[in-house]
Every structure is written in structure tokens, then in C-alpha cells.
Amino acid sequence: MGIPISQMWTVATYVLGQKLRGRKRYPLVLMLEPLFRCNLACAGCGKIQYPAHVLKQELTPEQCFTAVEECGAPMVSIPGGEPLMHPRIGEIVNGLVARRKYVYLCTNAILLRQKLEEGLFTPSRYLTFSVHMDGDEQQHDFAVCREGVYQVASEAIREAVGRGFRVTTNTTLFDAGGATALRAFFDEMMKLGVEGMMVSPGYAYPKAPDQASFFRERLKTNRLFQMILSNRRRGWRFNQSPLYLEFLMGLRDYECTPWGNPTYNVFGWQKPCYLLQDGYVDTFTELIEATQWDRFGRASGNPACQQCMVHCGYEPSAVNHTFGSPGGMLATIRSILFGRYRDPNAAEQLTDDAQQPHGPMVQLGLTVEGQPIDSPTEAA
């Protein structure tokens, strides 16, 4: 398990506290986007296409602190754009650490080494660099549309780990990229000394008009994750809910919890989730009270939600299951203690996969012929 006990304890007591108060909708992780600018231009990124006047905008540290306090979530994820391009990112991160929030700074790591050398950050159990790595060197450089980025990011990870920082990786999975290569990539990341890894399928607005196609897409995603996450190697650690990983493998089903990871950015609080943009409101209270939550999630029938299995919607459901029932807690403990997930069928599929030619790589949810994504994907 790649999550420190102190952090698990904070989350557990927070969730139980919310349940004791009878709060139906509560946030777990605030997705704080202090800017949309980036020093990469990945194909399919839904953030960097904003017009120049939006890309120039930034949240101030004060706006960030107000949002964090309003929201009250114990964890704050800082995606972007590239947060290390924010001129006051040190102030923002240090202010959140001082408020004892568990901060995950999501970065493509191009600037990480430089910022570490400048002494912008101090190691803390509250601060984790979550480095965007979409697979091995070939997969990652293809995904970010620039050669050499994998090497730069690997060096930055080594540097940050060496300086005593908590470092994780976050990987958005690409179809046809090769399950075997991804497993080798996990080995590589563990060798670099990361605390844990995070994986998620990408999100793409579905073009398929019928439920059967949606169902096929989800099965395809399940099959890929079965190959990758069954028969796990002993050394692998994931910085995620074990039950969410079981959901990705098709071993359990969840409904989305879109309020679990609310998003705040230069436009305000984004309705209803990190992926969809159904308007913005000024306060977190308004977000919770004014959003028509029953219009979202798979059960709503909303086409935009039918293929989605992304962590920002489903990981809160898994965490809620863990702390919301003895069965969920037992399943989590069982996974932590014994979770190798032996599966001869998955091993056989993996052998076949290794013999297949792979490529072109396509983000899960898109077809080779598909049009560019018209809704935001997970950014770095």
C-alpha cells in the first residue's frame, strides 16, 4: 500500500466524521487548478486550448486558501496546466502545507529539478509531487508529443526522492499501448523509488450513441486493467484506493460520486466535476446545493457519463465504500494484505498481448478514427 498511515488516518477520521454528522455530500479531494498554462502541448489536452486571455489568468494564493477553507477537504490536488509555471506556486503549496492539507502537486516535472534547486519546497509528509508519466519512454513521449520528456521526468523524480520528498506517479492509460510495456514501466517507477503509483483510464466524450457500445467500451477498459493489475508483482505500490483498482478490473461496480473531487479554477467552482463543464458558481456551498446531481453519473443516463471510469468520479465512491460498511473495510484490508490478484486467464491474455503489434496509441474511449476529444481530459 503506497499511502502513509498518518494520511489514511486523517482521511478515515474525516469520512467517519462526515458520516456521523449525517452529511450526504462531502468532498474528499479538492482539485485546485491555479492556472491553465503549460510548457507541453499534449494532444487531447482540454486545458491548453483556452484563449490567450484565459491562459494568462492565475489564481492568487489568497483565492486558493479561501477555496481550500471553504471546501474543507483533507486533500488538495493541484493539476493544471503546469502548476510549477505559476509564479507564486511556492507560496500556495507552503500555505496549504501549513494548513495541514495533504497536497498532491501534479506536474509534468520539466521544471521540477530547477524548482528543487531553487529551494522552493521543503520535504513534508503533507507534500507529494505527483509526476505525470503515461507509460514507458516510448508511450510517454508519444502521449506528451515531445521526445525526451520521459528522461527529464525520470531524472526529476530521482532528484526529488533523493532530497526526501514524497513522490508518486500518475498515469492515464492509453489503449493499444501494450499492457506488458506498462507492467515493465511500473517496475521502472518502483526502482526510481516512488512511494506509489496512480492509474486511471482517460476520459473522452463518447461518440457511441447506444448503450451496447458504452458497455463494450467499459469491458475493454476492464480487460486492459485485468491484464495490467492481475498477478501483481510484489514490489508494486499504488497510491490509490484498492477498491477503485478492483472497479477498474471489473471486480466490483460503483456509481460516480461527482462531488467527491470538486474543482476550483479561474472561472470559479466547476459544475459538476473535473471533466464536465456545466457552468460555474461562486461558492462551494452553491456548488453542492445548486447542482442537479441526479443529471450526472451512469444511472442518470447522461451520455457524457456512460463510459467514464475516471478516478475523480469513482475513487471517492470506493473510499466511501471502505469507510461506509464493514464489508468495504474488510475488502480493503484483504486487498492490502493479500492483493496479488492471481488470475490465469489474465496471464494468458497478457502473453497474447505481448505478441501483438501495438499502435497507434489512442486514449481509452476514443477510436482510431475518432475525432479529437471535445471535453477536457485529465491534465497533468
Smallest distance from the beta carbon of 45 to ligand SF4, in angstroms? 3
Selected range binding ligand SF4 among 96-104, 217-225, 273-281, 318-326, rule: CB under 6 A: 273-281
Instruction: Please give the size of the binding site for ligand SF4, defined by CB under 6 A.
Output: 29
Q: Kindly tell me which residue out of 310, 318, 346, 373 binds ligand SF4, with binding defined by CB under 6 A.
A: 310
Q: Can you spell out the DSSP letters for 216-240?
A: HHHHHHHHHHHHHHSS--TT--BSS
The amino acid sitting at 336 is I
Q: Which amino acid is at 219?
A: L
Is the Cβ of residue 278 or residue 343 nearer to ligand SF4 in the bound state?
A: 278
DSSP-derived 3-state class of residue 98: helix
Q: Which is nearer to ligand SF4, 61 or 206 (CB)?
A: 206
CA nearest to 29, candidates 330, 329, 257: 257
Contacting residue, 48, 116, 120, 329, with ligand SF4 by CB under 6 A: 48
> Are 267 and 319 a contacting pair, CB within 8 Å?
no
Q: Quick check: helix, strand or coil at residue 364?
A: coil
Helix, strand or coil, per DSSP, at residue 119: coil
Cα 152 from chain centroid?
A: 21
The stretch near ligand SF4 (CB under 6 A) out of 43-51, 278-286, 345-353, 365-373 is 43-51
**C-beta of 356 vs 375, nearer to ligand SF4:** 375
Q: Which helix (H) or strand (E) holds 140?
A: helix 137-143
Please report how close the Cβ of residue 25 comes to ligand SF4 at its closest, in angstroms.
13
| Spatial contact of 149 and 110, defined as CB atoms under 8 Å apart | yes
Residue 257 CA to residue 270 CA, distance in Å, equals 15
Q: Which of residues 109-128 bind ligand SF4 (CB under 6 A)?
A: none
Q: Is 45 in the site for ligand SF4 (CB under 6 A)?
A: yes
**Piece of 25-33, 80-88, 212-220, 284-292 that binds ligand SF4 (CB under 6 A):** 80-88
| Residue 290 to residue 293: CA distance in whole angstroms | 9
159, 205 contact by CB (below 8 A) = no
Q: Which is nearer to ligand SF4, 226 or 263 (CB)?
A: 263
Tell me the closest approach of the beta carbon of residue 49 to ligand SF4, in angstroms. 9
Out of 28, 93, 153, 305, point to the residue binding ligand SF4 (CB under 6 A): 305
Q: Which one of residues 192, 312, 331, 362 is an interface residue with ligand SF4 (CB under 6 A)?
A: 312
Residue 31 near ligand SF4 by CB under 6 A:
no
Contact window for ligand SF4 (CB under 6 A) among 51-59, 228-236, 297-305, 347-355: 297-305
Nearest to 221 by CA among 197, 249, 240, 186: 249
* Region from 15-23, 185-193, 268-276, 323-331 binding ligand SF4, contact rule CB under 6 A: 268-276
Contact, 89 vs 81, CB < 8 A?
A: no
d(CA 255, CA 266): 29
For residues 196 and 168, is the Cβ–Cβ distance under 8 A? yes
CB of 320 to ligand SF4, least distance (A): 14
Binding site for ligand SF4 (CB under 6 A): 38, 40-42, 45, 47-48, 80-82, 108, 132, 144, 256, 258, 272-273, 275-276, 296-297, 304-305, 308, 310, 312-313, 379-380
